[in-house]
């Protein structure tokens, strides 16, 4: 089976409110929109009530909630009849620890039978920790609302006898279980008649107060989420069992490709992808890999490329004015540089929610050293200090070191740089321990001669890398990026907010490299994980173009809200609130205005808790949170504030239009497979999940698209964005060889002003599609518009046809004022081919 490469994808976030049959009903619209593949969120059974599907509980079947295999077949048939394929999201790294737990049969078996369970090797459990008085291992289950002694004494933990059917068939006949409110646990055979306290102690799991988890959890989890237990897919039998259904869907033609969720959490990402390629005979596979800075994808990975975060942040920054940074920073003075904020956040994560992982890692390093006379005097505490420092200093998700294999230069260099940063934070007497630790982590000979490939040394190499990724994710993206409010639109998954804006030359260099090295990777502007939708980021990004005006706006808003703003609302929250109000404003349509209070309150509560400055998920400051929400409520009820926001939106609508349409068109025509997140084809200023997972009004979008196709003018921004998206997607579908074919290319085009970005997609060197977009529209307007500035269009025998406006233009030097008279973007094809 050869890889069928999508030309474009459309992301559908499936759940109980968007089933396979619901998705099938959207197929006619999506086919008309121009996509070639539907990109589905995970389709295997998830934990009860899941709205996203990444908390998988069963790998043996397709989700009944979504419609089961029959529903998937109906969707596939509808898609195939319309000429569309399917791409499916795969979650190899973890399974849910659901409530009730019997939904995960594999984990239920482990808790019932311990190390003798046929599924014990599925999960990464440290059976030497959390043991029973008999010296047997026990899996920590930190689910109790109080300490276990108080729970037992209070009578909230009870024995019950239920029929196996009530447990989803994990047992037959009457079964004794332990109940704690909604939690249900198996009871080890032979312990049913023991006194409750003794029974609790004799299980293959240890019930514990929920706060114990971060300090003593003994199973690897997804980041710091205790309800997601890591799965050991490096074991071939586990891989086969957890991928049988998905590989079968590829084999029978139901599915055409796969998106892999967080491969950095795996023990051996390269080995996993190699095995996947073998089992799928080279299917199209992309990976959710976040590349830090100028990091490259490991060349040994068998994949078409990433899901596009490295392109997303560069594209976003392309439309940001770096000249506005200093003034914006004055409005929300940060607590140090971004690097300092990141380092502080990572230290907090290492010492807090990921302490159990770091402790386990230290135990492993200490056991390696204790077993070698030459290393024995490197103490547990010294190793712990050095590991903490290294994890904080490491600037990317992972160093790709594989035990027994030669390590590439890039990971070695990354480790060396992190080592020097860590060394600067450690006392001199720890430096020798740091040096030994780094040698061990690189899989080199350390200590006694010849000691290199040993099981615990290999495990240390792998486990350090897995913890690195968790520290980066929780420390940077889920903490520091919620603290950094200089320009919140830049604080995105995989983002580089310190690189405040990039120029056209930098963008062209990136796009050229993408065409050379990853022409079939995914590109995106919004995903189910982005902290703000692309249109929210577009509106916030405009602040960089008008920082002085924004400063005046902030002062006006502060004055207006002075009488009802609580003293509990700090500068961090205020900055986040004001940027969010501007970012979520809907500029036109039947209901122009800000997002609803419910949406804003849910987002702000989540954002402030993730920042962990004045409140958090584990220790919520209810009065603080209420004060912030009350401020938003009052702002939305204040006619003066609403008038200020409306005036702001009116004055900057052209700048927003340029960014929203420009980012969309450039993404849809840049090298790679273009993805459109559900609803983002229209102007949709959304926030982080669950806001970005709200149902899409497909009927309205379909009606609008039909009107555009009938010749109705695209007057509103919503219409214009749908026009740009549909015309670009249809062009990709009509000319796949120009975008993803073996002879496809990318060519920067010259312009006489940095406010215009122009490029061509080529086929065998001949330009076939030209994209032109406006950058920094406010600066352009301030300088008097395009004037005599030009773009040079490639030669075409009959000139060029704009698919967005219908206008025709001659080849050669063309005034931008003529080309972009109606819209801030242009999508051109040779006139004889239009």
Residues 107 and 205 in one domain: yes
Q: State which residues form the domain around 282.
A: 8-93+231-307
The one-character DSSP state at 172 is: -
Question: The tokens of 647 are what?
Answer: 């005036």
Pair (13, 51) in one structural domain: yes
Query: What is the C-alpha separation between 411 and 613, in angstroms, rounded?
Result: 33
Q: Is the dihedral of CA 348, 354, 360, 361 positive or negative?
A: negative
Domain assignment present for residue 71? The answer is: yes
Per residue in 72-93, pLDDT (tens digit) is 999 999 999 999 999 999 999 9
Query: For residues 476 and 344, what is the distance between their CA atoms, to the nearest angstrom?
Result: 10
According to the model, what pLDDT value does residue 223 have? 87
| pLDDT, tens digit, 9 for 90 and up, residues 772-814 | 999 999 999 999 999 999 999 999 999 999 999 999 999 999 9
Task: Compute φ and ψ for 639, nearest 5 degrees.
Answer: -60, -35
Give the residue-averaged pLDDT of 644-666. 97
pLDDT in tens, 22-72: 999 999 999 999 999 999 999 999 999 999 999 999 999 999 999 999 999
Nearest CA among 524, 528, 12, 7 for reference residue 308: 524
The tokens of 152 are what?
A: 């037992």
Which residue bears the tokens 């029973």? 132
Domain end residue (candidates: 253, 281, 307): 307
Closest of 244, 242, 182, 170 to residue 48, by C-alpha: 182
Does one domain contain both 62 and 112?
A: no
Same domain assignment for residues 130 and 177: yes
Work out the pLDDT band at 173, boundaries 50, 70, 90. confident
Band of pLDDT at residue 132, cut at 50, 70 and 90:
low
Average pLDDT over every residue of 565-577: 96
DSSP tag of 175: E
DSSP letter at 475? I
| pLDDT of 834 over the 60 cut | no
User: How confident is the model over 749-769, as a mean pLDDT?
Assistant: 98
pLDDT in tens, 306-357: 999 999 999 999 999 999 999 999 998 778 999 999 999 999 999 999 999 9
For the segment 239-250, the average pLDDT, to the nearest whole number, is: 98
Count of domains for the chain = 4
pTM greater than 0.85 (yes/no)? yes
Residue 755 belongs to a domain: no
Domain boundary among 179, 213, 229: 229
> Residue 199 is part of a domain; what is its CATH number?
3.30.1590.10
Residues 86 and 235 both lie in one domain: yes
Average pLDDT score over the chain: 95
Name the CA dihedral angle for 191, 192, 195, 199, rounded to a multiple of 10 degrees. 50
d(CA 321, CA 595): 26
H helix intervals, 258-401 = 269-280, 309-318, 325-331, 338-351, 355-370, 380-393
288 in any annotated domain: yes
Under 8 Å between Cβ of 707 and 752: no
Q: CATH number for the domain including 554?
A: 1.10.10.470
212 and 242 belong to one structural domain: no
pLDDT greater than 50 at residue 128: yes
Burial class (CB in 10 A: 0-12, 13-18, 19+), 373: exposed
Q: What is the tens place of the pLDDT at every residue in 385-411?
A: 999 999 999 999 999 999 999 999 999
Predicted local distance difference test score (pLDDT) of residue 334:
79
- What's the mean pLDDT in 117-128? 95
pLDDT for position 488: 97
Q: How many CB atoms lie within 10 A of CB 376?
A: 12
CB 298 within 8 A of CB 408: yes
| Residue 574: pLDDT over 50 | yes
Sign of CA dihedral 779, 782, 783, 784: positive
Domain assignment present for residue 667? The answer is: no
pLDDT confidence tier of residue 169, bands split at 50, 70 and 90:
confident
Does one domain contain both 105 and 224? yes
List pLDDT tens digits, range 491-500: 999 999 999 9
Residue 553 lies in a domain: yes
Residue 805 lies in a domain: no
Q: Indicate if 118 and 219 belong to the same structural domain.
A: yes
Long-range contact set of residues 445-452: C-beta below 8 Å, sequence gap at least 24? 446/375, 447/369, 447/372, 447/373, 447/374, 447/375, 448/372, 448/373, 448/374, 451/372
Q: Is residue 289 part of a domain?
A: yes
- List, in sequence order, every residue forming a beta bridge with 674; answer none if it has no partner: 8, 523
Q: 130 pLDDT band (50/70/90 cuts)?
A: low
CB atoms within 10 A of CB 622: 8
* HSE toward the beta carbon, residue 653, CA cutoff 13 A: 17
Residue 113 in domain = yes
Work out the angle between the directed axes of helices 20-33 and 68-81 (0-180°, nearest 10). Answer: 10
467, 493, 524 - which closes a domain:
467
Q: Do both 240 and 166 map to the same domain?
A: no
For residues 199 and 303, membership in a common domain is answered with: no
- Read off the tokens for 484: 């950094």
Contacts made by residues 232-236, CB under 8 angstroms, sequence distance 24+: 232/121, 232/122, 232/123, 232/124, 232/267, 233/92, 233/93, 233/266, 233/272, 234/266, 234/267, 234/268, 234/271, 234/272, 235/121, 235/122, 236/275
Name the region of 45 (left: φ>0; alpha: ψ -120 to 50; beta: rest). Answer: beta
Query: What b-and-e string marks burial along 81-90, b requiring 16 or more CB atoms within 10 Å of the CB?
Result: eeebbbbbbb
Whether residue 297 sits in one domain with residue 368: no
* Rounded Cα gap, residues 695 and 25, in angstroms: 14
Asked if residue 441 has pLDDT above 80, the reply is yes
Question: For residue 1, what pLDDT is reported?
Answer: 32
> In sequence order, what are the residues at sequence separation of 6 or more whose Cβ sits closer than 8 angstroms to the Cβ of residue 817?
785, 786, 787, 789
The CATH number of the domain holding residue 19 is 3.20.20.80
Check pLDDT > 70 for residue 134. no
Examine the domain organization and report whether 377 and 413 are in the same domain.
Answer: yes
Q: How confident is the model at residue 2 (pLDDT cuts 50, 70, 90)?
A: very low
């Amino acid at each position: 089976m050869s890889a069928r490469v999508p030309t474009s994808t459309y992301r559908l976030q499936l759940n109980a409110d968007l089933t396979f049959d619901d998705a099938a009903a959207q197929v006619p619209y999506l086919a008309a929109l121009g996509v070639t593949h539907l990109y589905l969120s995970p389709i295997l059974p998830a934990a009860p009530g899941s709205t996203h599907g990444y908390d998988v509980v069963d790998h043996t079947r397709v989700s009944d909630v979504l419609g089961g295999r029959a529903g998937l077949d109906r969707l596939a048939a509808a898609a195939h009849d319309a000429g569309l394929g399917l791409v499916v999201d795969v979650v190899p790294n973890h399974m849910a620890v659901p409530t009730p737990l019997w939904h995960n049969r594999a984990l239920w078996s482990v808790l019932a039978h311990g190390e003798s369970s046929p599924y014990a090797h599925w999960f990464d459990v440290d059976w030497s920790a959390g043991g029973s008085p008999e010296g047997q291992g026990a899996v920590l289950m930190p689910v109790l609302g109080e300490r276990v002694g108080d729970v037992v004494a209070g009578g909230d933990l009870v024995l019950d006898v239920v029929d196996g059917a009530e447990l989803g068939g994990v047992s037959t006949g009457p079964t004794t279980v332990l109940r704690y409110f909604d939690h249900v646990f198996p009871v080890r055979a032979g312990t049913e008649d023991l006194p409750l306290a003794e029974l609790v102690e004799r299980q293959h799991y240890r019930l514990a107060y929920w706060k114990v988890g971060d300090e003593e959890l003994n199973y690897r989890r997804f980041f710091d989420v205790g309800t997601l237990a890591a799965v050991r897919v490096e074991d071939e039998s586990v891989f086969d069992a957890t991928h049988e259904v998905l590989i079968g869907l590829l084999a029978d033609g139901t599915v055409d490709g796969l998106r892999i969720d967080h491969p950095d959490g795996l023990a051996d990402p390269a080995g996993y992808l190699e095995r996947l390629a073998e089992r799928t005979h080279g299917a199209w596979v992309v990976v959710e890999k976040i590349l830090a800075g100028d990091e490259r994808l490991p060349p040994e990975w068998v994949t078409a490329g990433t899901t596009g975060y490295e392109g997303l942040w560069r594209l976003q920054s392309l439309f940001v004015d770096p000249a506005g940074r200093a003034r914006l920073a004055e409005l929300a003075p940060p607590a140090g540089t971004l690097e300092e904020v990141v380092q502080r956040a990572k230290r907090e994560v290492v010492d807090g929610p990921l302490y159990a992982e770091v402790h386990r890692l230290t135990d492993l390093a200490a056991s390696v050293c204790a077993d070698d006379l030459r290393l024995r005097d490197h103490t547990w505490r010294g190793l712990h200090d050095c590991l903490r420092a290294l994890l904080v200093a490491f600037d990317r998700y992972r160093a790709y070191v594989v035990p027994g294999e030669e390590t590439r230069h890039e990971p070695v260099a990354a480790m060396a740089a992190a080592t020097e940063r860590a060394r600067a934070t450690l006392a001199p007497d720890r430096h020798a321990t740091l040096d030994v630790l780094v040698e061990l982590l690189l899989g080199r000979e350390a200590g006694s001669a010849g000691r290199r490939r040993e099981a615990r040394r290999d495990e240390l190499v792998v486990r350090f890398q897995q913890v690195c990724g968790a520290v980066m994710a929780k420390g940077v993206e889920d903490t520091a990026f919620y603290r950094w409010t200089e320009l919140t639109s830049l604080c995105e998954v995989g983002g580089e907010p310190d690189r405040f804006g990039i120029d056209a030359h930098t963008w062209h260099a990136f796009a050229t490299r993408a065409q050379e090295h990853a022409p079939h990777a995914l590109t995106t502007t919004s995903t189910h994980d982005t902290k703000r939708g692309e249109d929210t980021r577009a509106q916030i990004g405009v602040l960089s173009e008008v920082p002085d005006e924004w400063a005046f706006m902030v002062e006006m808003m502060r004055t207006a809200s002075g009488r009802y703003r609580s003293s509990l609302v700090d500068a961090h929250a205020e900055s986040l609130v004001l940027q969010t109000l501007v970012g979520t404003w809907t500029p036109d349509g039947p209901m122009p205005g800000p997002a609803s209070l419910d949406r804003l309150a849910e987002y702000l509560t989540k954002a402030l808790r993730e920042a962990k400055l004045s409140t958090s998920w584990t220790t919520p400051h209810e009065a603080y949170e209420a004060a912030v929400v009350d401020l938003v409520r009052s702002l939305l009820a204040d006619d003066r504030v609403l008038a200020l926001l409306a005036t702001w939106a009116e004055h900057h609508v052209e700048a927003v239009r340029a960014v929203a349409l420009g980012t969309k068109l450039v993404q849809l025509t840049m090298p790679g497979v273009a993805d459109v997140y559900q609803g983002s084809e229209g102007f949709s200023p959304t926030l982080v999940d669950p806001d970005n997972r709200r149902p899409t009004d497909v009927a309205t979008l379909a009606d609008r698209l039909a009107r555009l196709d009938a010749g109705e003018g695209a007057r509103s921004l919503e219409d214009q964005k749908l026009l740009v998206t549909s015309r670009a997607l249809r062009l990709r579908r009509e000319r796949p060889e120009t975008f993803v074919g073996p002879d496809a290319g990318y060519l920067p085009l010259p312009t006489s002003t940095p406010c215009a970005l122009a490029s061509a997609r080529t086929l065998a060197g001949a330009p076939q599609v030209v994209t032109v977009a406006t950058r920094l529209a406010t600066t352009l307007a301030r300088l008097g518009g395009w004037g005599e500035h030009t773009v040079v269009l490639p030669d075409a025998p009959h000139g060029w046809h704009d698919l967005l406006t219908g206008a025709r233009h001659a080849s050669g030097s063309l005034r931008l004022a003529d080309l972009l008279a109606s819209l801030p973007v242009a999508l051109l094809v040779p006139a004889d081919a239009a």
